[in-house]
Amino acid sequence: MDYRIEKDTLGEMRVENDKLWGAQTQRAMENFVIGKKKMPIEIIYGIVTAKKAAAMANCDAGVLTQEKCDLIVRACDEILAGQWDDQFPLRIWQTGSGTQTNMNVNEVIAHRGNQLHGGRLDDATLFLSPNDDVNKSQSTNDIFPTGMRIAATRIILEKTVPAIEKMMETYREKIAEYAEIKKIGRTHLMDATPLTLGQELSGHLSQLEHGLETIRYAMKHLMELPIGGTAVGDGLNTPEGYDKNALNYINKFTGLSFTNTPNKFEAMATHDSMAEMSGALKRLAVSLMKIANDFRLLNSGPRCGFGEIVLPANEPGSSIMPGKVNPTQCEALSQVCCQVIGNDVAISTGAMQGHLQLNVFMPLIGRNLLQSARLLADVINSFNDHCLKGITPNLERIQMHLNNSLMLVTKLSPHIGYYNAAKIAQKAHHDGTTLREAALQLGLVSEKEFDEWMKL
């Protein structure tokens, strides 16, 4: 393997000749061998998007030449097209500001730009400088949080939200289809008064509607970008109007409507907006866990459980019990919910660690939020397509439970009182008879009254 010598402020480092990164990336590769997971490529793309915008804003302000700007933009476009994904080798667990990843991006853009300018990676002098040109008007402290906000926003809007909306539409179809199917309700997992299967599913739909509303509310704060704050939030070394101009370019590139944060000191010293969005995703996960549990219970059996709905038989459920089919999509959904809730704990813990002018838990926060958003999108799509769309009611089982329930006696309470109705239920349960038989034996109602009052 051929190597070249790269230099930074601490001295020389050997870098493989076919790599676009430089000395600081190489140091980080050797100093942070922690875990296996690399910085999410979506965060890399978010940072690159911000750097492309920064170069154009700097050029407009006259602090970066058009030639250098063009080279930076060309290199950024290649990265955003997925051409250089293998040039970002750093792992998640590094400095809490993400400096190593920011410099990795700076070095790759600079070296690729120099190649496009006709230079070689082993040139003694480079036309583009990672710090002075690519990182101009920036600090890791404002560019990394900008990049991770861009990344999180895009995943949530492009993947998570559409998945929720698709699942909601499936629910609307099922609710309409099952609007007239009467079934027994259950509270405390004990028999309760009846409702329709459509009404039962409508509770799930309402959970999703509220979850989506919460996500959309949190999106407003997540989309406030601190670009232009540089080191501590005061915009040191930026030309006048740079932050607004860079933001306009970001919106042009992404097709989204990001805003400048009203207070860059807050947006760099804290990541409350990320914690807020994580909380919104956690709320969704809590709702989805309820949905998964309901389907598991209603499908339980098929003969020795509730058995009121039938889930699609997607695959064999046991390696030893022939014919067994398990609620596997429910179980996958539940596991993702647990992971998202765990991610929220880590994000909350990291977000509360802002000290003075900077929060240094950004890689943790960014990675976990992206994972939550991506996992939720994937599992919602899977559950919708492979479970929810295929559920069918077991009408015979539903009617059997409805007929056997003692809690239908509640309909008699307004006519004969709570305590008399309780006597009927207790006698029917003790004697193993129907409510009608018990009521008539006790002489508390006539046949005509019972049939009229107990109509469903």
Give per-residue pLDDT as tens, 35-49.
999 999 999 999 999
Average pLDDT, the chain: 95
Percent of the chain with pLDDT over 70: 100
User: Which one from 188, 257, 355, 430 is the annotated catalytic residue?
Assistant: 188
Residues 266, 329: one domain? yes
Residues 374, 230: one domain? yes
Per-residue confidence (pLDDT) for residue 271, from 0 to 100: 96
The residue among 110, 109, 102 whose CA lies nearest residue 126 is: 110
Per-residue confidence (pLDDT) for residue 357, from 0 to 100: 95
Residues 126, 145: one domain? no
Residues 101, 180: one domain? no
Residues 375, 409: one domain? no
Per-residue confidence (pLDDT) for residue 318, from 0 to 100: 87
pLDDT per residue as tens digits for the range 411-451:
999 999 999 989 999 999 999 998 999 989 999 999 999 98
Per-residue confidence (pLDDT) for residue 174, from 0 to 100: 98
The single-letter DSSP state of residue 36 is S
Question: In this predicted model, which residue has the larger pLDDT, 123 or 55?
Answer: 55
Averaged pLDDT, 194-213: 98
Domain count, the chain: 3
- The region of weakest confidence among 122-131, 233-242, 285-294 is 122-131
pLDDT band at 124 (very low <50, low <70, confident <90, very high): low
Per-residue confidence (pLDDT) for residue 455, from 0 to 100: 84
Averaged pLDDT, 70-90: 98
Residues 153, 221: one domain? yes
One-letter amino acid for residue 110 of the chain: A
One-letter amino acid for residue 154 of the chain: R
The CATH number of the domain holding residue 434 is 1.10.40.30
Residue 371 makes CB contacts below 8 A (sequence gap 6+) with: 40, 339, 343
Averaged pLDDT, 167-181: 98
**Domain stops at, among 117, 136, 155:** 136
What's the 3-state SS for 246-287?
A: HHHHHHHHHCCCCEECCCHHHHHHCCHHHHHHHHHHHHHHHH
User: Which one from 206, 318, 429, 446 is the annotated catalytic residue?
Assistant: 318
Residues 30, 84: one domain? yes
- The region of weakest confidence among 98-102, 312-316, 340-344, 394-398 is 312-316
- The region of weakest confidence among 112-121, 197-206, 356-365, 381-390 is 112-121
Per-residue confidence (pLDDT) for residue 120, from 0 to 100: 81
Which residue has 């049939």 as its token pair?
A: 451
What are the CB-based long-range contacts (under 8 Å, 24+) for 261-266? 261/224, 261/225, 261/226, 261/229, 262/224, 263/233, 264/142, 264/226, 264/228, 264/229, 264/233, 264/234, 264/235, 265/229, 265/232, 265/233, 265/234, 265/357, 266/233
Averaged pLDDT, 348-375: 97
Per-residue confidence (pLDDT) for residue 196, from 0 to 100: 97
Active site residue 188: yes
Averaged pLDDT, 283-302: 97
Domain extent for 34: 3-136
Q: Is the predicted pLDDT of residue 1 greater than 90, yes or no?
A: no
Residues 318, 222: one domain? yes
For the beta carbon of residue 303, count every other beta carbon within 10 angstroms: 6
* Predicted structure pTM score: 0.94
Per-residue confidence (pLDDT) for residue 408, from 0 to 100: 87
Residues 203, 252: one domain? yes
**Domain stops at, among 356, 378, 396:** 396
Q: Is the predicted pLDDT of residue 244 greater than 80, yes or no?
A: yes
Residues 121, 207: one domain? no
Q: Is the predicted pLDDT of residue 123 greater than 80, yes or no?
A: no
**Domain stops at, among 396, 415, 438:** 396
| Residues 329, 293 contacting (CB under 8 angstroms) | no
Per-residue confidence (pLDDT) for residue 396, from 0 to 100: 96
* CA–CA separation, 444 and 438 (whole Å): 9
Residues 77, 211: one domain? no
Token pair recorded at residue 30: 């050797």
Residues 410, 385: one domain? no
Per-residue confidence (pLDDT) for residue 246, from 0 to 100: 98
Q: Is the predicted pLDDT of residue 219 greater than 90, yes or no?
A: yes
Active site residue 319: no
Token pair recorded at residue 101: 């990843």
Averaged pLDDT, 223-239: 97
The CATH number of the domain holding residue 107 is 1.10.275.10
